[in-house]
Amino acid sequence: MAFKKIINDPYKAVDEMVEGIVLAHSDILKFANNNKRAVIRKDAPIKNKVGILIGGGSGHEPAFLGYVGKGLADGAAIGNVFASPSPDPIVEATKSISGGKGVVYMYGNYAGDIMNFDMAAEICEMDGIPVKTILVTDDIASAPLDKKNERRGVAGDFYVFKIAGAAAEKGFDIDEVCRLSKKANDMTISMGVALGPCSLPHTLEPSFILEDDEMEIGLGIHGEAGVRKGKIRTADEITVELMDKILDEMDGSKKVSVLVNGLGSTPLMELYIMYRKVHEILGKNSIEIHSSFIGEYVTSLEMNGASITVMKLDQEMEPLLEEETLCSMFRV
């Protein structure tokens, strides 16, 4: 399978992308102390506000840079493709968004990110900036429910970041922001399917192998193994399989928000066909859809596939999800 990309030097692709995003959205974004891997809100730091710093590897756009702005994250630290940012941009971003009330780090549950963000937190705490961490662990396929803390973070990032950003924007203290963020994570579950791989800019080689008539259920956003491979099935059959796993963890919740997320090269046509079946399944289970998001929110370069994320809602989560947000690639 041949891969083609519109890039210059593959080893400069991330830096050129980040520069392009900041140039395109200079009304919202700026670099932190001229560090080209640390991007923050143009109005940061905001005095007496808890800072929200998100981040991870590039290749997942609009995550993470697209979620920096009013009502969401104050900054993002960006690594190479599918690789954690180094401690340096994390430290620069932390210092640049610190408004005196501490900073919360939020990212998917991956070993490299944990190591580098923890190193940065130690440095910042020595400089007098309190730092706390919330890991996103929404991927059902990566571990059973009784080991939820071992699960990967995938498209559920979107909901957890949104709740955290709203809580911080409302002026809550760092402990309350963390409590609400952790609750959002606990109420968010995802399951995905891949029909084809992506390729890294510097290799142009497939990230995994699927036969022309195969799909993989539960594959991770970096190509981590899923729960099973099999022959490609219809959109309705795929959606039913994903939703069966999600419904197993609904715990009687009767109101949700739904995200049908494209992984990079899946047409909106196919995502809306999947959403149609999600809507039917939830209706048959007497579960109200409060809001829906369909499109590319957490991608994997040009991977062909999709994921379904459901966030269970209650009287505390619902208004925070509705809070105004103004980012470069996402608005409420």
Total Cβ atoms within 10 A of residue 43: 11
Q: How far apart are CA 240 and CA 233, in angstroms?
A: 11
What is the rounded CA–CA span in Å between residue 321 and residue 289? 13
Q: Length of the chain, please?
A: 332
Tokens coding 295: 């499109």
Consecutive H or E run containing 133: strand 131-136
Give the catalytic positions in this structure: 60, 222
Supply angle C-alpha 227, 232, 236, rounded to 5.
90
Closest CA to 104 of 67, 51, 45: 51
List the one residue out of 99, 145, 94 whose CA is nearest residue 116.
Answer: 94
Whether the CB-CB separation of 97 and 38 falls below 8 Å is answered with no
C-alpha dihedral, 270 to 274 to 277 to 279, nearest 10°: -120
The number of C-alpha atoms within 13 Å of 126 and in the hemisphere containing its C-beta is: 6
In angstroms, rounded to a whole number, what is the distance separating the alpha carbons of residues 212 and 115?
A: 38
- Tokens linked to 243: 């939703």
Q: How would you classify the pairing of strands 228-231 and 214-217?
A: antiparallel
SS3 at position 152: coil
Is the separation of the CB atoms in 165 and 71 below 8 Å?
yes
Cα–Cα distance measured from residue 186 to residue 178, given in angstroms and rounded to the nearest whole number: 12
